[in-house]
Amino acid sequence: MTFEEVLAWDAATDWSSAEVAPGAESDLLAALQGLWCARSEEEAVAAYWCLDNVVVVQGSVYGGAVLVVGPAVRMAVLGSVWTRRWALELVLQVVAGWSVGAAVGDRSLVEQSRAQVRCSIDLVYVLLSDPISDVRELAAEVLACCEVDPQRFDERLAWAAGCEAVEVTRVHLDRVRSAGLRAEE
């Protein structure tokens, strides 16, 4: 799959108008493409930081995050070994954050981002069977933030924890369940 195909669902997006952190300068499309095309851990990490320090800074979520989440979910499923982990890390930072400039407790940008994830939530569930443990654990945390059906969430995590090929540890499963990151129903 090409980068253009990853972005096909976002064809109408005006990337130039994306709200980013004050003082941040980044071409979101170039950073996403850098993450998609990463050929090493170092390249993926560098691309990740070009996005993380721009659309989400220490939990503060800016408007550009809503635009980045959809492509990042697709990259987490379809990307290289390096891309998957860092794309999912970006998604988690956004969906577990809080909206900047909003009243205390207002999570509108975060909720919009979570809604983007819910559009592709079955893809995130697939990542519970990823061969890389970091990806599986990040997927569980993203799901804890975004899934609005607690029964489905618990059943899928229990399935993943019970698979011989997938060792989502009981400790991690318990941590995700108790983290209090659940999506608002």
CATH class for domain 3-178?
A: mainly alpha
pLDDT in tens, 88-114: 999 999 999 988 755 444 558 899 999
> Which residues are CB-neighbours of 30 under 8 A, at least 6 positions away?
50
pLDDT tens per residue, range 20-49: 666 666 788 889 999 999 999 999 999 999
Q: How many CB atoms are located within 10 Å of the residue 110 CB?
A: 24
Round to whole Å and give the CA distance between 142 and 153. Answer: 11
Name the residue with tokens 């990307």: 79
What's this model's pTM, rounded to 2 decimal places? 0.82
Structural domain boundaries in the chain: 3-178
> 20-24, 87-91, 128-132, 145-149: lowest mean pLDDT where?
20-24
Contacts with 176 (C-beta within 8 Å, 6 or more apart), sequence order: 140, 141, 143, 144, 157
Q: Is residue 147 within 8 Å of 179, Cβ to Cβ?
A: no
